[in-house]
Structure 1
Amino acid sequence: MATVDPEIVPFPEAPNSASPSSSADQIPLEQPQKVKGRHKLLQSLQRFSSSPSLTRRNRSRSASTTYGRNGASLSCVSLSQSTYAPCSSNGSATQLYGGLNIRPTTPGPTGSYAADDQEGNARIRFVADTINGPQSKKIALPTEVRPGSRSGMLEDAAVVAKPEKFDFWGKMPNELGMLIFSYLTPKEVIRCSTVCKWWHKMCYDGQLWTVVDTTDYYSDIPSDALMKLIMSGGPFIKDLNLRGCVQLREKWESESEEITAVCRNVVNFSLEGSRMEKSAIHCFLGRNQRLQYVNLSGLDSVTNGAMKIIAKSCHQLRTLNVSWCTNVTVSGLKRVVKACPILTDLLASEIKGFDEVELPSELFKRNTLERLDISRTDITDESLKVLMHGVDPEIDILEDRAIVPPRRLKHLDLHQCSELTDGGVKSLAHNVPNLIVLQLAGCTDLTDDSIIPVIQTVPHLVHLELEELERLSNRSLLELAKSPCAPFIEHLNVSSCESLSDPGMLQVMKSCPSLRFVEMDNTRISDLTLSEASYRVRKRGYDENVPQIGLRIVAFDCPNITWVGVRDILAGNAYIPRQYKVSAPDAISVVTQTVNASRTSVLGSGSGASTPMITSSITPPPPPTVYPNHIIQLKCFYAWQATVDEHTKRVLRGDLAAANRLEKKWFDYMVATEEAGIGGAGARRRRRRAREAERIYNDDDAGEPYLGLLGGRRRARSGGSCAVM
């Protein structure tokens, strides 16, 4: 039995007088009376349907049929198979009513037929849905065969043209991101960490903080941020420079265990001026056995206990700086020297106990030091001899010197060691052939007898400081000019050596072409030394690049230096030799002009002739195309220093013309100042000379006095006419 479809609308019957539906007003049928038997069965059959479409009848039903009596519709589809397959947009069985019929002659109700088939003899009637509202009267094509509109095509093209969103940073490999961030400074990395979470994670990755150097930002970074950097770096940190980080003292003390548990691969470690506690320093030194560079200078909390820990755990140590650590003594340094076989640099300024020979003897046995700084200590001549010769060395009778292997020292700092004399410094001769830097400033008892042998036996000496050696004479400078190190010496300090003068310094300026810094204030040198220095610097050549500072001279408080010597320096800095100057172009140009007939007749020339006219055109010379390679930066008397500095700035930027103008004006000013004198009588004499020069310049012939004041021009006294004008 088929299911009941409550939305099937009864087919309207043909007009019939016997039927109540044949009235003009189309009165709806009334409910049939309750019947029994066969009529009841037939009445039930009209309510069943297996298809939403029924075959429309084109003629009225016979009056003899029993179906028409009750006004019921016939379900022909339920009794016979239809050859029509319904076509619907949504496939709903409740929207179609009717079948394949011939189009009626009389027009039906509006909207009763929706479309014809291809042959024009079939109709599909859309039936209104009283529940969901009116349905569409058109059937849409499937999406796959539907033609696209222009707007739709443009939208599709826009969708295709729009690039796909690509997460650049999210899909980037971590290694490449690390490489990009490695080019930024620490300050820039910290700023970038606030951009997003991914950047924050990258900026605090340990691989990016293998070097934590707070030299540039130690006063700006707070302790929490600095601790975060250290903890983020962790085992990746190799260089840890906390110089001057006083804000880290409390954090380091409270979290020393956490820090040392993470940072165990540090190679270079510096705590200079950070004021760390003793326990925190000991804990860090004990857990970092790969340390090669340790800088603890200026810390009162560093004691011999720290030296003991270094000697026990840091066997790869190469550089140790404990200068100004007042609680460290020579006994602690001795343990380090014994336990560290590759120690090359030892900086122990102001450490007490060098008057004993134990540490110098151990250093002599090791012979690994290349840099030794024991300035401002109590080292004596005996200790220095043990450091150079050892204890009871073998003595060469002919040369009267110890036969020992030469020392590897390259830097030796002994300044302000007041107990040293010539006897101890002489031991340096023939024993330090690789010496590059020698500082003996402040050793007031030294004389030429100890300085000359040392200078003659150090062929690679570059830096020499002999400040405040009052007993030093010009003999030492003469020997320096003749020594093997003369071509290499760059830094010379002889300040406050009051016995030095021009004979010695002139030879040094001539024989030392590599000089870069000469400090000779408070000596007896004069303007001759400055002039010789200017000449030697000019000999270094010229090129097209702007000048560079090649020699710095400090010569204030020298009574024999005057403004004339200073002017020689200024003039030499802006001097260009004649062969490098660009000659001015030809100043005479010939211009041919055609003169018309009337003017030619006035001038007395032939008709139609052209007269050449020669005119003069003076063109200023172009700026120089070459500059000196090196110039001198001078520090002199404070009243002249401002002019010297301004002149140097102009030369360094390549404006030699402006520098020459400044030098000329300063020269005129100094001449006028000297002529003025104290009483002012020179001023009147200077004004009188100026008036005389103006009168001589403006005077013309005897008959035309002071013609120049009235705008006239001086005439040639030869009486002939000017060939050019």
Structure 2
Amino acid sequence: MATVDPDEIVPFPEVPTEASPTSSSDQIALDQPPKLKGRHKILQSLQRISSSPTLARRNRSASTGYRRDGKASLSCVSLSQSSYSPCPSNGSASQLYGGLNGRPTTPGPTGSHTPEDDQEGNSRIRFVFDSPNGPQSRKVALPTELRPGSRGSPLASSELRSAPKTFDFWGKIPIELGMLIFSYLTPKEIVRCSSVCKWWNKMCYDGQLWSNIDTTDYYRDIPSDALMKIIMSGGPFIRDLNLRGCIQLRDKWLNESEKITASCRNVVNFSLEGSRIDKTPMHYFLLRNERLEYINVSGLDSVTNSAMRIIAKSCPQLRILNVSWCAGVNTTGLKRIIKACPKLTDLLASEIRGFDDKELPLELFKRNTLERLVISRTDITDETLTILMHGVNPEMDVLEDRAIVPPRRLRHLDLHQCSELTDKGAQSLIHNVPDLVGLQLSGCTELTDDSVVPIIQTAPQLTHLELEELENLTNRTLTELANSSCAPFLEYLNVSYCEALSDPGMLAVMKNCPSLQFIEMDNTRISDLTLAEASFRVRKRGYDEKLPQIGLRMVIFDCPNVTWVGVKELMSGNTRLPRPRKVPEAVSMVTQTINMDGTSESTPMITSSITPPPPPALYPNHIIQVKCFYGWQMTVDEHTKRVLRGDLAAANRLERKWSDYMVATEEAGAAGAGARRRRRRAREAERIYNDDDDDEEAYGFGGMLGGRRRARSGGSCTVM
């Protein structure tokens, strides 16, 4: 019998079956395993304990002993639940099979195997070997429950049924994030999103989204029921409530005023200008909102002195009050608010009766908290205006002949259309309004240079000045305005219908007021010189690569001395660019060489031939927008559009065609010889002016710079 190497695993013979019977001499009895010696005896008693909890849960026994023969690995443990029968082995079979049992091996027939062995936790090793019938697979199969099922199998269908559902983003998102997302939408978009689903409807009508309700953009399109739902949803979250022009809420205010006022109790800014509301709902709302700081009830007939009394009683935090054109309010109700609201800074009371009374101006003088006072179209007189500025019986400065009183904090004062004011009352503003920014004296026809000039000289921060319809003003006012300390800051000037003003005064204003943005001088005696100076001053604001913007708006219609030439100068100035620098050309140098025979030769040598890239396109920073004679206005507006979009070439073409048309029209209207020729030329200029000029190649590349127009062929090439 051949000697067996103990370190080598010998392939087991085939297990005898009924189909292939074997002789009894080939069978190896496993009843009495041979005794082991040396290290095999030591390895017989060793075990490897598995640390995998998965195998423990699957009722697997500990791993087999360590083998170093290289023909089998420790990981070759069968994970399948199917049982297998032990194979006959050589003398080392007890080491690999029975030697790992905790109890002694019981004798049994060859090839027999009982399922109780697996249930007792005995380790089993699957031997990987080559059988006489062919090589067997060296891979270990996965357990049945871990194997992927084929299509159509019960296992695969159960897996499909148990597949995870799609993640519900809006269902799982926190409510705070959902509110943050909806806060970026406009009110129209929020209302549209409310019809998507119930969850979105709940989110869209959450009060946190409606802390600011401003119906300025959609008050014509939203019905009263939807607007009421928004207001009731906002409830205590509403801080800014602007219902300007919502006339559809009149019935809601009348029938559901209790519900609205009970829900909205934290409003800070409240505006009902142009809407319709009765007295009772108005009073309820004012009584239940003690935090009101801004109230705008302009033009409401339901607002009376009783509403002013409620405001004075329940709104101590009031800062801005607008009761202009409220026929039921007079200075008696305003007097209570002035006394009860110490934080009042803005009072807008146009067309309010009773300003000829001395009590209200005296209260305003004592408070001295107003920064904005609008009392236009009122019956204020010189005496009441003096009390408003100086008080009663003030201490007088003998040297300067003016009252010694604390300066007023007014920044905006509107006295336009106060027909009873004269120079005597207006002079009370001198030295008393140092912080004045905006002053409106339009329509006070009795004012002259004697009162307007000192006011301008003592208001160093003045930026807005309206002197419309002051027919007694002269160029002295404009000259003093240009030389005053407020000239660098002046932005808005209105001198319309001041027929005594002309070029000398306006030229000084154009030169010394670089921040001017809007000027109205229609129905004055200015001429084209003022327009040319304005164009020059605006071009001084510089050029860059950005598209131009409107820097100065001018109103010059009905000025008899302004002609189309001045308007053309404005249009030309809007497209005029600085002259480009000369491009350096190649510089050559002549060198002289002396030969041996005494003759000399001159050789030209190019020292530089660098051609810089073309400069980027430049545009003026600011241009002038003009409102002029209605017959020229359409052309001027189209020219301005082209300049604003950066198409200076098209603007220049339009300007030249309009200029040719105007010249031809004037020539056609002239009498004398050649009238027919001039009229024919006028018709041709009108035809060219009315032609479509969208073709950018009409004037070539030099169209913007005034180049010659290219000729056009009548037909295509016959060869091509």
TM-score (norm 1): 0.69
Match of 1:561 in 2: 562
Q: What is the DSSP-based 3-state SS (H/G/I as helix, E as strand, rest coil) of the residue aligned with 2:332?
A: helix
Deviation readout 1:496-545 (Å, 9 max, x if unpaired):
00000000000000000000000000000000000000000000000000
Amino acid at match of 1:662: L
Match of 2:327 in 1: 326
Answer with 360-369 or 156-165: which moved more: 156-165
Match of 2:625 in 1: 633
Q: How far off its partner does 1:564 sit?
A: 0.7
2:568–2:659 CA contact under 8 A, matched in 1 = yes
**Equivalent residues in 2 for 1:13-32 (5 A)?**
none
Residues 1:659 and 2:660 aligned together: no
Distance 2:147 2:450 in 1: 111
Distance 2:624 2:217 in 1: 31
Q: What is the DSSP-based 3-state SS (H/G/I as helix, E as strand, rest coil) of the residue aligned with 1:289?
A: coil
2:479–2:509 CA contact under 8 A, matched in 1 = yes
Distance 1:228 1:446 in 2: 54
Deviation readout 1:354-400 (Å, 9 max, x if unpaired):
01111010001000000000000000000100111111111000000
Match of 1:239 in 2: 240
Q: How far off its partner does 1:341 sit?
A: 0.3
Distance 2:631 2:681 in 1: 28
Distance 2:218 2:349 in 1: 28
Deviation readout 1:466-491 (Å, 9 max, x if unpaired):
00000000000000000000000000
Match of 1:397 in 2: 398
Distance 2:522 2:222 in 1: 42
Distance 1:689 1:186 in 2: 59
Match of 1:217 in 2: 218
Change (3 A) 1:119 1:230: same
Amino acid at match of 2:619: Y
Match of 1:446 in 2: 447
Distance 2:282 2:234 in 1: 19
1:413–1:439 CA contact under 8 A, matched in 2 = yes
Q: How far off its partner does 1:579 sit?
A: 3.4
1:345–1:371 CA contact under 8 A, matched in 2 = yes
Distance 2:149 2:680 in 1: 104
Change (3 A) 1:675 1:415: same
2:495–2:520 CA contact under 8 A, matched in 1 = yes
Match of 1:197 in 2: 198
Larger Rg: 1
Distance 2:110 2:292 in 1: 97
Amino acid at match of 1:636: C
Q: How far off its partner does 1:679 sit?
A: 4.4
Residues 1:298 and 2:290 aligned together: no
Q: What is the DSSP-based 3-state SS (H/G/I as helix, E as strand, rest coil) of the residue aligned with 1:578?
A: coil
Amino acid at match of 1:507: A
Residues 1:165 and 2:140 aligned together: no
1:676–1:682 CA contact under 8 A, matched in 2 = no
Distance 1:217 1:576 in 2: 44
Change (3 A) 1:637 1:170: same
Q: How far off its partner does 1:676 sit?
A: 1.6
2:345–2:370 CA contact under 8 A, matched in 1 = yes
Distance 2:185 2:322 in 1: 30
Deviation readout 1:126-165 (Å, 9 max, x if unpaired):
xxxxxxxxxxxxxxxxx95796654359948985996642
2:575–2:652 CA contact under 8 A, matched in 1 = yes
Q: How far off its partner does 1:584 sit?
A: 11
**Equivalent residues in 2 for 1:396-545 (5 A)?**
396-545=397-546
Change (3 A) 1:147 1:327: closer
Q: What is the DSSP-based 3-state SS (H/G/I as helix, E as strand, rest coil) of the residue aligned with 1:497?
A: coil
Change (3 A) 1:148 1:329: closer
Change (3 A) 1:149 1:688: closer
Change (3 A) 1:524 1:176: same
Q: What is the DSSP-based 3-state SS (H/G/I as helix, E as strand, rest coil) of the residue aligned with 1:302?
A: coil
Change (3 A) 1:448 1:231: same
**Equivalent residues in 2 for 1:357-372 (5 A)?**
357-372=358-373
Match of 1:256 in 2: 257
Distance 1:638 1:248 in 2: 42
Match of 1:26 in 2: none
Distance 1:688 1:261 in 2: 79
Amino acid at match of 2:277: M
Distance 1:638 1:350 in 2: 34
Match of 2:355 in 1: 354
Distance 2:154 2:551 in 1: 74
Answer with 163-172 or 275-284: which moved more: 163-172
2:148–2:156 CA contact under 8 A, matched in 1 = no
Amino acid at match of 2:625: Q
Q: How far off its partner does 1:253 sit?
A: 1.1
Q: How far off its partner does 1:171 sit?
A: 1.2
2:517–2:553 CA contact under 8 A, matched in 1 = yes
Distance 1:523 1:330 in 2: 38
2:664–2:681 CA contact under 8 A, matched in 1 = no
Q: What is the DSSP-based 3-state SS (H/G/I as helix, E as strand, rest coil) of the residue aligned with 1:550?
A: strand
Amino acid at match of 2:502: S
Structure 1 unaligned residues grouped into runs of 5+: 1-116, 121-142, 587-620, 691-708, 712-725
Q: What is the DSSP-based 3-state SS (H/G/I as helix, E as strand, rest coil) of the residue aligned with 2:308?
A: helix
Amino acid at match of 1:320: L
Residues 1:669 and 2:661 aligned together: yes
2:481–2:487 CA contact under 8 A, matched in 1 = yes
Distance 1:686 1:153 in 2: 100
Q: How far off its partner does 1:262 sit?
A: 0.8
Q: What is the DSSP-based 3-state SS (H/G/I as helix, E as strand, rest coil) of the residue aligned with 1:170?
A: helix
Q: How far off its partner does 1:688 sit?
A: 11
Distance 2:436 2:637 in 1: 35
Match of 2:176 in 1: 175
Q: How far off its partner does 1:172 sit?
A: 1.0
Q: Percent identity?
A: 73
Distance 1:493 1:388 in 2: 25
Change (3 A) 1:671 1:162: farther
Answer with 234-243 or 668-677: which moved more: 668-677
Change (3 A) 1:157 1:383: same
Answer with 478-487 or 661-670: which moved more: 661-670
Distance 1:205 1:671 in 2: 67
Amino acid at match of 1:628: P
Distance 2:669 2:399 in 1: 65
Match of 1:616 in 2: none
Distance 1:636 1:227 in 2: 47
Change (3 A) 1:624 1:561: farther
Q: What is the DSSP-based 3-state SS (H/G/I as helix, E as strand, rest coil) of the residue aligned with 2:281?
A: helix
Q: What is the DSSP-based 3-state SS (H/G/I as helix, E as strand, rest coil) of the residue aligned with 2:170?
A: coil
Deviation readout 1:573-604 (Å, 9 max, x if unpaired):
00001037x86999xxxxxxxxxxxxxxxxxx
TM-score (norm 2): 0.69
Match of 1:642 in 2: 634
Change (3 A) 1:149 1:347: closer
Q: How far off its partner does 1:685 sit?
A: 5.3
Q: What is the DSSP-based 3-state SS (H/G/I as helix, E as strand, rest coil) of the residue aligned with 1:631?
A: strand
1:462–1:485 CA contact under 8 A, matched in 2 = yes
Q: How far off its partner does 1:275 sit?
A: 1.5
Amino acid at match of 1:641: Q
1:584–1:622 CA contact under 8 A, matched in 2 = no
2:295–2:322 CA contact under 8 A, matched in 1 = yes
